[in-house]
Chain A
Amino acid sequence: MAENATAQERLFALRAQIARLEGKSLPALAAAEQAQAAERPECGKTRIKQPRLPFGIDPLDVALEGGLPLDGITEIRTRSMGDAGAASGFTFALASHLKRRKADGAPVLWIGDVVSRQEAGAPYAPGLGQFGLKPQEVLYAVPRKLDEALWLAETALASRALSATILEIRGNLKNFGLTESRRLNLRTKAAGRPLFLLRHAGEEEASSASFRFLAEPAPATGRRLPDGSVLGGSIGYPVFRLILEKSRNPAPLSFLLEWNPHDRQFSLNSKAGEVFSFHAPPAHSGAGLPASADRQDRAPTLGHIVALERAS
C-alpha cells in the first residue's frame, strides 16, 4: 500500500514537472490554485498567468485560449515563396499590434534570411512605416549562417531588450529541428518575450511552437470613403487568409483577417474585397469607377479550403 502511494506521488511529481515544462496547468494544480485564490483573492489577482496577446476578436481569442502567447513561439508558414508578402505582412502586423497593446518602446528585431531577401525582397522601411511600425522601431539583421541566426534569436530573447523577435527561415531545415525550436521555446519562457517564426515555403513539422498559422494572400478590402461606402476597384487594407493549423483546438480554424494599419488592429473579414472583371479600369486612373453591377464576390468559401487543402 505504502509502495503504491509513493509511486503515485512520484507519478504526480513527474506530471507536475512536465506540466511546468510545457507551461500548461495540471488539473490538480489548477484546483489548488483556485482554492488558494478563494482563500486569498488579492493573491490570485496579482498572480500573472501566462501573458497573452489577444486579437480583440472574440471567436479567435477563444480558439487561441486568450490570444497568442507572449512567452512562446508562434509559427507562420506559407506553402510557397510567392505568399511571402502575406506571411511577412501578417508577422509584421502581429509585431505592430503587440507594440500597440503593450505600449512598448523597445524595438522589434527582424532576423532575415539571405535567400528569402533575394526571392521576396527586403523589408522596406517606408512601407513598414505605413504598415504600423516606425522605421526606428525595427532592427534588421541578416546573418550569413543559420547557426548565427539561431544564436542571434536566442541572445535577443535572453536580453529582454526587444519587444518581439521575428526569425525568418526558408523551408524545413535540417539544422533547425525540434531540439532547436525547443531550446528557443525555453528561452521565450524564461524571458517572457515572443518569437515569431516565419517559415517561407515550408511543410508542417513538429516544433515547440504554441500555434502555427498557414498564411495565404486574400483579396484586399476596398478603400473606404468618408461617407462609409467603398471605392470600387481600389486596393485598401490587406487581408490575410489564415489557417490555424496547430493549436489546442480539435479542428483547424480558417478565417480571413484584415489588418488596419492606421488603428493597428485586426478585424475579421468574412467577405473579401469585391473582385471585378478585368474590363474594369483601375481605381485611380481617373477613368471612372466600375459599375457596381459588374462586381462579383469571388472569395472562396472557407470549408472548401479546409476540407481539401489540409495536409495532415
Chain B
Amino acid sequence: MRLTALDEVSERFGLRRGQGLTEARAMFPAIHVMDEDEAADRALIEAIADWCDRYTPLVALDGLDGLFLDITGCAHLFGGEEMLLKDILGRLFQMGFDVNGAISSSPGLSWAASRFGLGGVISHDGIEEALAPLPVNALRLDAMAISSLHKLGLKRIGDLLSMPRAPLARRFGTSLLQRLDQALGLHEEAISPRRPVAALSVERKLADPIQAEEHILQLTGQVASSLKPELEARGVGGRIFELVLFRVDGCVFRISVRASRPLRDPKRISSLFSERLATVHDDLDAGFGFELLRLNVVEHEVFKPSQDDFTGDGQSDASFADFVDKVSARLGANCLQIAELRQSHLPERAESFLSAMAARAVGKNVEEAFAFMPKADRPLRLFRYPEPIEAFAATVPDGPPQRFRWRRIVHRVVRAEGPERISPEWWLDGKDAEERDYFRLESETGRRFWVFREGHYKTGDAAPVWRVQGIFA
C-alpha cells in the first residue's frame, strides 16, 4: 500500500506521495491513514467545479485534483483578474481546501505556475520569465520524456527555452515542443468544459441569502424580466430554462423546465418554475440560504409573435400550451400523451404514444400521422397484454366459443361476429408466429369482448390458445 494523498502537516514532516505505507509508519507511527475513495474524490471535485460555475460557465476537470476555468470576458465582473483569483482562492480556503491558482493566457502556463510555481496572475510579457525557473515536470510530459531530459541535465524549462528547436524535436519527438508551445501560448489549446454554455444567462447576487420558495420565485420573475429585452433583441424565445441556485456552503442546485413553445413572458417562466419547485420541494434543501441565483436559457427558438384575433382562437391555443407546460413541469414531460396510429394490423402495434409536448414541438402534420384507421371494429379499451381465457364449445374449425371463462367468471356468449383473421408480422415475429382469428362476442349480460384464437384446431395437436384483448363499449 502506498500513500496517494497527504495533508499539509504530513507534507511538512517530509512524507511524499508514492511512499510505502510501512515506510511512512516506520518514520511516524502516529500517522492516520484512510483508504482512497476515488468515487468520493470525483464527486468532490465535481461539486467544486459546479461551485466554480459562479465565475464562468466554462469549467473543465483536470484529473481528480485540478480545474481549468476559462475566464475570458468574466474577470471584469469581479473587479479584474487579481481580484477574481483572490476571491476564488479565499472562498475555497474558507471551505477548508488548500488550493493554488494561477491566471495566465494559456492553460499550460497556468497549470505549470499553479502546480510548480508561485501562482498568481501572469501578465502577457512575463510568460518566459515565469516559465523559465520551473522544472520540466511542469510541462505535462510523460515520465519517459522527463527522465531522459533529467539524464541530459535539462532540469528547468529555461534550459529548454534557450536551446535550438530542431535537435529537441529530433531527440524527444514533437510532443515536447508542442507542450512547450502550449505553455508559451504559441499553440492554441482548448479545454473541454463540463456543461454546454447557455445561450443567455442572467444572475443576481444576494447580499442576504434567501431560503423561502416564494422569494426564489419572486427573484426568478425579476431575473426573467431582465432577460426579456435580450430575448426580444434576438427575436427568440426560450424553450429550456435552467435555474441555478448556489447555496452559501457551496452546494449547487440546478432545476430545469421545458416549454412547449418559445417563451419570453417573465410571469410564465416563473410560473413554470413554481410548478417545478413544488415537485422538487423535498430535494431542494435550502440550508442556510442561497446567495446567488442564475437563470440560463439553455435552448431557444425563433419566437413568432402572434396577435390575438377577435374570435379568440389564438388565446385558447396559448392557454393549451400553458396547460401542457404546467403539467409537464410538475408531473414530467411524459405525463400527458397523445396517441399516434401506426400502420400495423396487429392491434397492439397499431398505436403508439408520444408526449404531448413532443408532438407540439415537432409540429408535424397530424392529419397525415393519423390517417391509418382500421376498417373493422376495434374495441374501446385494449389490454396491452392479451389475457388467456378458457374457451368452451368453440365451433370447429373456425367458429366462436359458446362460453368462456375469464378471470374466474364464466360468460355465456349470445352473439358473435367474426372471424377477422389477422396474420402475424413475420418480419418482426418470425416464422413460427400463429395467425389470429378475432371475434366480437356479446355475453348474455350485454358485455362485449374482443377475443381471438391463436392458431387453429388441428388433429393431434394441443388446442389453440384463446385470449381476450379488449372490451367494447
Q: Give A residues with C-beta under 8 Å from B.
A: 82-86, 88-90, 92-93, 105-107, 120-131, 134-136, 138-143, 148, 151-152, 155-156, 159-162, 216-220, 233-235, 238-241, 259, 272-273, 275-276, 278, 281-285, 287, 298
The docked-state distance in angstroms from the alpha carbon of A138 to that of B326 is 18
In the complex, the answer to whether A124 meets B316 with C-beta atoms within 8 Å is: no
In the complex, the answer to whether A126 meets B380 with C-beta atoms within 8 Å is: no
On whether A106 and B380 interact (CB within 8 A), knowing A89-B473, A234-B417, the answer reads no
Query: Contact partner of B442 among A121, A216, A220, CB < 8 A?
Result: A220
Residues of A within 8 A of B302 (CB): none
Q: Give B residues with C-beta under 8 Å from A.
A: 316, 319-320, 322-323, 326-327, 330-331, 335-341, 347, 350-351, 353, 356, 366, 369-370, 373-374, 377-384, 395, 398-400, 402, 409, 412-419, 439-440, 442, 444-448, 470-473
Report the minimum CB–CB distance from B374 to chain A (whole Å). 5
In the complex, the answer to whether B331 meets A134 with C-beta atoms within 8 Å is: no
Query: Contact partner of A234 among B370, B412, B415, CB < 8 A?
Result: B415
The docked-state distance in angstroms from the alpha carbon of A203 to that of B373 is 38
Residues of A within 8 A of B382 (CB): 121-124, 127
In the complex, the answer to whether A275 meets B415 with C-beta atoms within 8 Å is: yes
The docked-state distance in angstroms from the alpha carbon of A106 to that of B353 is 19
11 pairs across A/B with beta carbons < 8 Å? A131-B380, A135-B351, A140-B353, A143-B331, A155-B326, A159-B326, A217-B446, A219-B442, A234-B415, A282-B417, A282-B418
Closest B residue to A156 using CB positions: B323
Residues of A within 8 A of B413 (CB): 278
The docked-state distance in angstroms from the alpha carbon of A128 to that of B316 is 24
Report the minimum CB–CB distance from A157 to chain B (whole Å). 10
In the complex, the answer to whether A141 meets B379 with C-beta atoms within 8 Å is: no
Tally of contacts, chain A with chain B, CB under 8 A: 203
Residues of A within 8 A of B374 (CB): 126
Residues of B within 8 A of A275 (CB): 414-415, 444
In the complex, the answer to whether B399 meets A123 with C-beta atoms within 8 Å is: no
Report the minimum CB–CB distance from B435 to chain A (whole Å). 16
Report the minimum CB–CB distance from A265 to chain B (whole Å). 15
Residues of A within 8 A of B347 (CB): 124, 126
In the complex, the answer to whether B399 meets A282 with C-beta atoms within 8 Å is: yes
Closest B residue to A282 using CB positions: B416
In the complex, the answer to whether A120 meets B414 with C-beta atoms within 8 Å is: no
In the complex, the answer to whether B418 meets A284 with C-beta atoms within 8 Å is: yes
In the complex, the answer to whether A238 meets B448 with C-beta atoms within 8 Å is: yes
In the complex, the answer to whether B337 meets A90 with C-beta atoms within 8 Å is: no
Query: Contact partner of A283 among B335, B370, B380, B416, CB < 8 A?
Result: B416
In the complex, the answer to whether A161 meets B319 with C-beta atoms within 8 Å is: yes
In the complex, the answer to whether A136 meets B322 with C-beta atoms within 8 Å is: no
Closest A residue to B313 using CB positions: A105
Query: Contact partner of A135 among B320, B338, B419, CB < 8 A?
Result: B338
On whether A219 and B446 interact (CB within 8 A), knowing A86-B473, A282-B417, the answer reads yes
In the complex, the answer to whether B417 meets A284 with C-beta atoms within 8 Å is: yes
Q: Which secondary structure dominates where chain A touches chain B?
A: mixed
Closest A residue to B400 using CB positions: A282
Closest A residue to B348 using CB positions: A124
On whether A130 and B414 interact (CB within 8 A), knowing A135-B370, A138-B338, A235-B440, the answer reads no
Query: Contact partner of B402 among A88, A134, A278, CB < 8 A?
Result: A278
In the complex, the answer to whether B320 meets A136 with C-beta atoms within 8 Å is: no
In the complex, the answer to whether B320 meets A161 with C-beta atoms within 8 Å is: yes
On whether A106 and B446 interact (CB within 8 A), knowing A135-B338, A235-B440, A278-B414, the answer reads no
Residues of A within 8 A of B336 (CB): 139-141
Residues of B within 8 A of A140 (CB): 336-339, 353
Report the minimum CB–CB distance from A195 to chain B (whole Å). 15
In the complex, the answer to whether A281 meets B395 with C-beta atoms within 8 Å is: yes
In the complex, the answer to whether A217 meets B399 with C-beta atoms within 8 Å is: no
Residues of B within 8 A of A284 (CB): 417-419
Residues of B within 8 A of A126 (CB): 341, 347, 350-351, 373-374, 378
Closest A residue to B468 using CB positions: A121
The docked-state distance in angstroms from the alpha carbon of A143 to that of B279 is 14
Query: Contact partner of A90 among B341, B398, B415, B473, CB < 8 A?
Result: B473
Report the minimum CB–CB distance from B253 to chain A (whole Å). 23
Query: Contact partner of B473 among A88, A106, A142, CB < 8 A?
Result: A88
In the complex, the answer to whether B414 meets A276 with C-beta atoms within 8 Å is: yes
In the complex, the answer to whether A278 meets B412 with C-beta atoms within 8 Å is: yes
Residues of A within 8 A of B377 (CB): 127, 130
Residues of B within 8 A of A141 (CB): 327, 331, 335-337
In the complex, the answer to whether A152 meets B331 with C-beta atoms within 8 Å is: yes
Report the minimum CB–CB distance from B120 to chain A (whole Å). 55
Residues of B within 8 A of A125 (CB): 339-341, 350-351
Taking A88-B381, A148-B331, A287-B399 as given, write out 9 further A-B residue pairs in contact, using a Cβ cutoff of 8 Å, ordered by the A residue number: A121-B471, A125-B350, A126-B374, A129-B373, A130-B378, A141-B335, A152-B335, A156-B323, A220-B446
Report the minimum CB–CB distance from A274 to chain B (whole Å). 9
Closest A residue to B351 using CB positions: A125
On whether A124 and B416 interact (CB within 8 A), knowing A141-B336, A219-B442, the answer reads no
Residues of A within 8 A of B471 (CB): 84-85, 120-121
Residues of A within 8 A of B353 (CB): 140
The docked-state distance in angstroms from the alpha carbon of A141 to that of B339 is 11
Residues of A within 8 A of B439 (CB): 282
In the complex, the answer to whether A127 meets B440 with C-beta atoms within 8 Å is: no
Residues of A within 8 A of B442 (CB): 219-220, 235
Query: Contact partner of B340 among A120, A135, A234, CB < 8 A?
Result: A135
In the complex, the answer to whether A283 meets B417 with C-beta atoms within 8 Å is: yes
Report the minimum CB–CB distance from A256 to chain B (whole Å). 10
Query: Contact partner of A85 among B326, B356, B472, CB < 8 A?
Result: B472
In the complex, the answer to whether B472 meets A89 with C-beta atoms within 8 Å is: yes
Report the minimum CB–CB distance from B222 to chain A (whole Å). 25
The docked-state distance in angstroms from the alpha carbon of A161 to that of B447 is 34
The docked-state distance in angstroms from the alpha carbon of A106 to that of B323 is 12
Closest A residue to B384 using CB positions: A122
On whether A83 and B338 interact (CB within 8 A), knowing A129-B373, A156-B323, the answer reads no
